Amino acid sequence: QKEVEQDPGPLSVPEGAIVSLNCTYSNSAFQYFMWYRQYSRKGPELLMYTYSSGNKEDGRFTAQVDKSSKYISLFIRDSQPSDSATYLCAMSEVTSGSRLTFGEGTQLTVNP
C-alpha cells in the first residue's frame, strides 16, 4: 500500500465550478503538506504549503489538512481553463529533510 493515496482522475469540470481534490495518507509522522500543480511538459509548481492541521487560503485556492483523519484537500473556486493541469499532493516528515512523498496526481480539465 502506498503511503499517500490520490485519485488519479481524470476529473473534468465546467468553467466556474468548485473543484475538490484530496489525498489520504498512512504515515502519522507527516507534518508538512503541499499541493503542486504540473502542466504538461513542465516541472511541478508549488501552490500551497501548510504545516500540521488547519486551513490556508490563497486567492481561489484553499488547502485543508485534517491530521486526525489523515486527509488533506485542495479546493479551487471559480475554476478556469488555465487551471487545467495535474495536481499533486506532497508530504514530508520533520526529520526527513527535503524528502517529499507524492501522491499519484489528479489530472484536471476545466472546460470553457
Partner 1 sequence: KAGVTQTPRYLIKTRGQQVTLSCSPISGHRSVSWYQQTPGQGLQFLFEYFSETQRNKGNFPGRFSGRQFSNSRSEMNVSTLELGDSALYLCASSLRGLADTQYFGPGTRLTVL
Q: Site residues (CB under 8 A) for partner 1?
A: 32, 36, 41-46, 49, 51, 88, 90, 92, 94, 96-105
Nearest approach in angstroms of CB 53 to partner 1 is 16
Using only the alpha carbons of the chain, give its radius of gyration: 13
**Strand extents, DSSP E, the chain:** 4-6, 11-14, 19-25, 30-38, 45-51, 54-58, 61-66, 71-76, 85-93, 101-102, 106-111
- Give CA angle at 85 (57, 100), nearest 5°: 65
Query: Is the CB of 44 or the CB of 83 nearer to partner 1?
Result: 44
Question: CB-wise, 83 or 103, nearer to partner 1?
Answer: 103
Question: At closest approach, how far in Å is the CB of 14 from partner 1?
Answer: 27
Considering the complex, what minimum distance in angstroms separates the CB of residue 99 from partner 1?
A: 5
Measured from the CB atom, the residue of 14 and 43 that comes closer to partner 1 is 43
Cα–Cα nearest to 21, from 31, 33, 11 = 11
**Cβ 40 to partner 1 shortest distance, Å:** 11
